[in-house]
Amino acid sequence: MANVRLSTIRGTGVAASCCSHLLEAAGFRVCLAESQRPQRPRIPAILVSEAAQALLRDVYGRTDLFSGLFHIDCRIVAWEPGSPPVTLPHQAVVSSEEALLELLRPTSGEIAPADVADWTVYTSRPLPSFVEQHRFGSRTASLVAVDLRDSGPPACWIEALECGWLFLIPNSPVSGWLVSIGSPHDVLLAESRLIADRIDVSGEAGTPFAAYPAIADPLCAPGWLACGAAALSFDPLCGDGTGNAVREAILASAVIRAAVAGGNVDRLLSHYCARLTAGFARHLELCRGFYISANCGLWWEQEIAGLDEGIAWCRQANGPGNVFHYRLNGFELQPI
């Protein structure tokens, strides 16, 4: 690139780190800017799927990126009412959000705002004042530390109940974190037939946080893009939030590079918006299938209605026909 171009990355999450790394590798000068809002508390335990690990190894060119982290081999699920637990293969590692971000933290970049950037990538809020957030559901989640009563297999555990569901994520053979979605952990554990007998609560529940899917509208405009949590929020059941953040960062950085190289900005942004919206729609449809199979009461019906609303919104936003103008070849966009 003959002239060094300037991009600002607003935020400090996985998407921010990946965008920064990819743009710097392409010759951009990257300015790192903290969010203007107080940061939410970091999540103490997240699952990084095998697919997300592979993406991050490709982005950073490091095969050892996840060595030493606690490994999960399977997922044990009691989902449909009255059904026995089912064991499914699930390769993942467990990390705290803070530890994961430390692994991915940019080694360069200016820690200061830039007012004359060619492009700004928002990976945390606030977004530009005219951007709306469409929320599809009302569920929240909270986490509490637990001790495991027996070591058992290196598995995560999921259980659907009348007023929500539980997600047990071990981070060692003897300890872990319990995620409660829909109701407080004590309410859900009182109904539990799978998870309650396996744990002892050892801490206080954290502040509830949003667990409903949401999307920013618009997702981009000339000179800026929303990416990561600023663009899309996913249900923790099947969101693979880390993997989605990496995929969005790869696409966002590819769009910026193509635009700076002389590509059609409107066409590139249309493709970016369509790709993110289509991915969000697939997530909603996947969630809907799971929520319908677990449906055992009013709480589930209300959340299914929110998912239906979101699926309809995505169909209207993307419209009929093929709206994709490019494909990714590695980390570069090529016209279709």
The domain spans of the chain are 6-44+96-138+212-335, 61-95+139-210
pLDDT at 181: 98
Q: Residue holding tokens 């729609």?
A: 281
Residue 136: phi and psi, rounded to 5, are: -125, 80
Tokens found for residue 144: 């509490």
Tell which residue, 213, 164, 168, 188, has the closest CA to residue 77.
168
pLDDT at 134: 98
Tokens found for residue 224: 């800026």
pLDDT over threshold 90, residue 150: no
98 exposed, middle or buried (CB, 10 Å; 0-12, 13-18, 19+)?
exposed
pLDDT at 1: 38
Tokens found for residue 77: 């699920």
Average pLDDT over residues 86-99: 95
pLDDT over threshold 60, residue 38: no
Q: How confident is the model at residue 108 (pLDDT cuts 50, 70, 90)?
A: low
Please name the residue ranges forming H helices in the chain: 14-25, 50-60, 97-104, 185-191, 241-260, 265-294, 298-318
pLDDT in tens, 190-221: 999 999 999 999 999 999 999 999 999 999 99
Tell which residue, 270, 268, 237, 242, has the closest CA to residue 255.
268
pLDDT over threshold 90, residue 183: yes
Average pLDDT over residues 144-170: 94
What CATH number does the domain located at 61-95+139-210 have?
3.30.9.10
Length of the chain: 336
Q: How confident is the model at residue 319 (pLDDT cuts 50, 70, 90)?
A: confident
What fold is seen in the domain 6-44+96-138+212-335? FAD/NAD(P)-binding domain (3.50.50)
Percent of the chain with pLDDT over 70: 93
